[in-house]
Amino acid sequence: MPVTTIAPSADVSDDAVIGDGSKVWHLAQVREGARLGENCIVGRGAYIGSGVVLGDNCKVQNYALVYEPAELGQGVFIGPAVVLTNDTYPRAISPDGSLKSAHDWTPVGVTIRDGASIGARAVCVAPVTIGRWATVAAGAVVTKDVPDFALVAGVPARRIRWVGRAGVPLEQQGDAWVCPETGERYIEDAGILREEQS
């Protein structure tokens, strides 16, 4: 059975669930109710909020901030210093000037589907869903849902290419899109990419 590793300087709640083989590195914080699947990696200084869910084989790189109620599928990559927000209309104070508490707003989350990757310093502004095997380029700001297999970049993020499971941009061959690394074929229909059925 794989060994779970928690660095001595990490702050992991007793109420968090850490899957077998997962590693939580120095100065990372994993809050109460968070659930990490098997073989996850939480890098130095990363933050995993209360009740956040990570599927198996996720990687959250150094200083990324994953605020509740984010949900990550299996095999999701979160690059260094990525931020997944949770407040649509953030304010420190209420209209009367009083300091807001955790009970004065309702958190909304970012959902990231299986195999997707979020590049370094990207920001995903909740509520948004990042589709399966999609890639968000470094520094992008995502303000609307990202389709499966899309490569999005910019501020605000827009689709610039399609990518396959290997993360490599696809090449168009006739009516199909083909991964130059794996040979997998995809069909585009009305702005949606799906794997070609054999």
Residue 1: is its pLDDT beyond 90? no
Q: Which residue ranges make up each domain of the chain?
A: 5-163
DSSP at 73: -
- Paired strand residues for 126: none
pLDDT of amino acid 197: 81
For residue 154, how far is the Cα from the chain centroid? 17
- Where does the pLDDT of residue 160 fall: very low under 50, low under 70, confident under 90, or very high at 90 and above? very high
Q: What is the pLDDT of residues 99-157, one digit of tens each?
A: 998 888 899 999 999 999 999 999 999 999 999 999 999 999 999 999 999 999 999 99
% of residues, the chain, pLDDT over 70? 99
Architecture of domain 5-163: 3 Solenoid (2.160)
Q: How many CB atoms sit inside 10 A of residue 104's CB?
A: 11
